[in-house]
Amino acid sequence: MRESVIYQSIKAEGREEGSDKKARKIAINLLAKRISLDVIARVTGLSVEVVQQLQQE
């Protein structure tokens, strides 16, 4: 069965959101271990700014 372009787009967006959630969860765990912001950003692919925001939450 061929998937429509819209369905493929929605599916890709869902994967991206899930990947972002996972990266944020990993970042929170690394922050708890007192890993540096730069290392967390490199490992997770998140920006340093996003990691800083997570640290403040």
pLDDT for residue 10: 82
DSSP 32-55: HTT--HHHHHHHH---HHHHHHHH
pLDDT for residue 53: 96
pLDDT for residue 12: 77
Please tell me the pTM assigned to this model: 0.78
pLDDT for residue 4: 86
What is the C-alpha separation between 41 and 48, in angstroms, rounded? 5
User: How does pLDDT run along the chain (57 residues), one tens digit per residue?
Assistant: 577 888 788 877 878 888 899 999 999 999 999 999 999 999 999 999 999 999 998
